[in-house]
Structure 1
Amino acid sequence: MHGAGNDFAIVDRRAGPVDLPPARVARLADRHRGIGFDQLITIDPPRDPGAVAGYAIFNADGSRAGQCGNGARCVAAWLLREEAARADGFSLDGPGGRVAARIEGEGIGIDMGIPDFAPAAVGLSRPEADRYVFRFGDEAVEVGAVSMGNPHVVIEVPEVAVAPVERIGRVLQDDPAFSDSCNVGFAQVLDVDTIHLRVYERGVGETLACGSGACAAVAVLARRGRVGERVAVHLPGGVLHVRWPGPGYAIHLAGPAEFVFEGEFLT
């Protein structure tokens, strides 16, 4: 499946366990000898009453992730297709807690929780600030940082098409100031309702889209007064729609969730 080009292998574990050690996930993620994906998402039995199902997230290198907005939306689409969930609203148990999902005008929508700007939530060993400066030799990079259930930093750039995504992304992910690395977003503001975004994901590399990264970018930019409550986030793989009323409120993500193929992988 994919959400705006952010692609996933979905493994249904509700009928019984499927062993997924890191080496096996990485083998499945190989785009030449495996299935190929940004993340592997499992659909699991719900942990708590009231949820339709649970899910877990594995990055392409086999590491675990705390949240994946597009992956959660694909799980929701799977459950809706098999009529295990109601189109007007249902709950999922994600790695970081309960997630509400539903069908809406812009596709599959989910509530991603309240953005957390506390450095501890991002795994950042610095005092809280609106902007953090990282220096690499003679170069300085200014970032905003926020947790969307996983750690994100956001860099505002004048032209996202020529941003040094891989070079800066790798350096920031390896910076010891982050206890568990980070996802790195590069955002260009077109107007208060529209941004362009590229994301270098932890454990994956640059992806065609990133749902939690879209929410992180909007949260950081809105906090600075750069964007409004409703923002169309244009990524290399498509458009995601983010809505955030402001501090203390959950941020909402919506967009496409598409089925690509189904089959059996022999390992």
Structure 2
Amino acid sequence: MHGAGNDFIVLNGIDQDLSGLTREQWQTLAHRQFGIGADQILLVEKATRADADFKYRIFNADGGEVEQCGNGSRCFVRFVIDQNLSDKNPLRVEVAHTVLTLKSHPDGQIEVDMGAPIFEHSHIPFNSNGLASMQKFHETLYALSLDMPATHDSFVGVLSMGNPHAVQLVSDVASAPVLEEGPSIEQHPAFPNRVNAGYMQIVNRNEIQLRVYERGAGETLACGTGACAAVVSGIRRGLLDSPVRVHTRGGDLQIAWGGLVNGIAQNVIMTGPAVTVFEGKTTI
């Protein structure tokens, strides 16, 4: 399946027990030459919480399990509907640290309540000790020292959408050093669990271009949590107004965020496509 070009293997873990697969087996499945090929693998399972209809787990192409995936959550909804696992709409799904609410629209678009962005450093997690910083409207930006010559303003906004993101502003996303710089940001020691590196170009106050170097997957054609993080960062910098159309290399997403109300961060709403490419079986 894919959500705006961010592609997934989606596995039914309800009717078969796949909990014993190893990191190496997940890597093989995700390998584009030796396996099926995907940015991430989604494993749909029975819920373990009373307030959820399903649970799903997310494995990156490197075999590591991660907390959250925005484009994957939309593909989860399409999978559950197409496989006749549920006819509920909206659905509530359990991920690593929270429960998401997901709704299918008649036009095929999927709306996901992504929850509230997280800014507290210990919860991202992010260690800003020793980093230069600057204030941009309501957001504090941090300079990440990288083992390469600086080609542009590398100050980043840092937040979590259930997974960590470092968002920087660039004048031209097409020429941004995503592949050259992304791995160094992903592995930067300020992020103990690594980080997703976002590169955002402002088109106007309701439109951006975005590329993301994803933790454990490399650059993908789209990143749902990355789109949410970029829009939240842009609004906090005073550069964007909700809702925002996010143009990725694989398609468009719409992100809405109401900011902070009485000091409390509102939930981020993401809407976008989810497409089934093919179905099949493989032997592990």
TM-score normalised over the length of structure 1: 0.95
Question: Gaps spanning 5+ residues in structure 1: where?
Answer: none
> Aligned-pair distance for 1:116?
0.6
Q: Which residue of 2 aligns with 1:262?
A: 279
Q: Which residue of 2 aligns with 1:8?
A: 8
Q: Is this contact kept in 2: 1:197–1:233, CA < 8 A?
A: yes
Given the alignment, which residue of 103, 112, 122 partners 2:124?
122
- Structure 1 pair 231/78, CA: closer, same or farther in 2 (3 Å)? same
- Are 1:219 and 2:232 an aligned pair? yes
1:46-85 residue pairs with structure 2 within 5 A? 46-85=47-86
Farther-moved stretch of structure 1 (14-23 vs 24-33): 14-23
Residue-by-residue CA offset, 1:159-202 (whole Å, 9 max, x unaligned): 00000001111111121111111000000010111000000000
Q: Is this contact kept in 1: 2:146–2:185, CA < 8 A?
A: no
> Aligned-pair distance for 1:101?
0.5
1:129-144 residue pairs with structure 2 within 5 A? 130-136=140-146, 139=150, 141-144=154-157
Q: Is this contact kept in 2: 1:131–1:144, CA < 8 A?
A: yes
Count of aligned positions: 267
Residue-by-residue CA offset, 1:46-70 (whole Å, 9 max, x unaligned): 1112422110000000001110011
Farther-moved stretch of structure 1 (62-71 vs 17-26): 17-26
Letter of the structure 2 residue corresponding to residue 184 of structure 1: A
Letter of the structure 1 residue corresponding to residue 5 of structure 2: G
Distance 1:236 1:37 in 2: 16
TM-score normalised over the length of structure 2: 0.90
> Aligned-pair distance for 1:31?
0.5
- Are 1:148 and 2:150 an aligned pair? no
Letter of the structure 2 residue corresponding to residue 120 of structure 1: S
Letter of the structure 2 residue corresponding to residue 122 of structure 1: I
Q: Is this contact kept in 2: 1:109–1:253, CA < 8 A?
A: yes
- Are 1:167 and 2:180 an aligned pair? yes
Farther-moved stretch of structure 1 (154-163 vs 101-110): 101-110
- Are 1:43 and 2:56 an aligned pair? no
Distance 1:42 1:16 in 2: 11
Large movers: runs of 4+ above 4 Å: none
Letter of the structure 2 residue corresponding to residue 62 of structure 1: G
Distance 1:124 1:220 in 2: 16
Question: Gaps spanning 5+ residues in structure 2: where?
Answer: 134-138
Distance 1:141 1:106 in 2: 38
Residue-by-residue CA offset, 1:118-170 (whole Å, 9 max, x unaligned): 22222211169610011236536100011000000001100000000011111
Residue-by-residue CA offset, 1:76-126 (whole Å, 9 max, x unaligned): 111122444446412111112100010235710111110011222222111
Distance 1:135 1:33 in 2: 36
Distance 1:102 1:86 in 2: 11
